[in-house]
Amino acid sequence: MLALRQWWATAWLSGAGALGESPLFLVDYLLRALRVCVLLALWRVVLGGREAASPMALGSVLTYALLAEVFADQLNVRTTLADAFWQGSIAQHFLRPMALVPQFAAETLGGWLVGLALFSLPLLLAAPLLGVDARPASALALLAFAASLALAICVGIAIDFIASALTVALEQPVWLVQWVRHAVAVILSGAVVPLALLPWGLGELLEWLPFASLAWAPLAIYTGVGDAPRLLALQIFWTLALWPLAGWLWRANREKVVGYGG
């Protein structure tokens, strides 16, 4: 009970911090909304007249693209661990009476709550205005999506801890590792382009990688274009495989953390 209260208090503090100074942070959401409108228009151009050559119908692609934006933060998890390295506040995290993973998970969740309330939900509600049918393929697909999204977050946090541990182990700049991780994940996870639309059968290959568990799996399940049992099984496999690796890498390197910034 105490652990839950600590966890929730940390999440609340993190969310409130994002709202604290000025409503100008809303500009970020406006820019994201504009990006969604443009991306939807671009998909219509890309598939316009070429639907026969596509394994996904235009409607499914639009739903996929919209959902990818609605759950953008959850489909490519970035905890506040790298920021803590960068700002030097990692030392404070080590001193708190709470395990490190729940601390960062709670801080990340707190940041998400604001985005979910102020961007994701309004965008989902505005879907009909954008000409997108945001409904899931079926009620079962919605249930499977919820499970898949939870697994995607688990895999995402594990990958984030692995990347952070590697930053320390390889003594590389925090932002360089974060950039590369983000860039690789965006391409390989299917967050921007559904894997089914990739040429040369690349999608079938990428589906087996852990990155596909981040975005492609939940979105393909939601839109009904993916084999839900197989995708969920792959996500469970990667969760079970990556968490021990993340734990081992982190434990092996956590004492090598050197703060030289702030």
Q: What angle do CA 215, 64, 55 make, to 5 degrees?
A: 100
Residue from 132, 197, 231, 249 binding another protein (CB under 8 A) = 197
Contact 228, 141 (CB under 8 A): yes
d(CA 104, CA 21): 22
d(CA 197, CA 51): 11
Q: Residue 171 region, left (φ>0) first, then alpha (ψ -120 to 50), else beta?
A: left
Residue from 70, 116, 123, 193 binding another protein (CB under 8 A) = 193
Q: How far is the CB of 41 from another protein (least distance, A)?
A: 4
Tokens at 168, concatenated: 């320390």
Give the rounded distance of the alpha carbon of 164 from its chain centre: 16
Residue from 3, 13, 16, 27 binding another protein (CB under 8 A) = 27
Residue from 134, 187, 206, 236 binding another protein (CB under 8 A) = 187
Range 3-22, binding another protein (CB under 8 A): 20-22
Q: Contact between 172 and another protein (CB under 8 A)?
A: yes
What element of type H or E holds 199?
none
Residue from 53, 129, 139, 258 binding another protein (CB under 8 A) = 53
Residue from 88, 122, 131, 229 binding another protein (CB under 8 A) = 88
List contacts with another protein (CB under 8 A): 20-25, 27-28, 31-32, 34-35, 37-39, 41-42, 44-48, 50, 53-54, 87-89, 170, 172, 176-177, 179-180, 183-184, 186-187, 192-193, 197-200, 202, 262
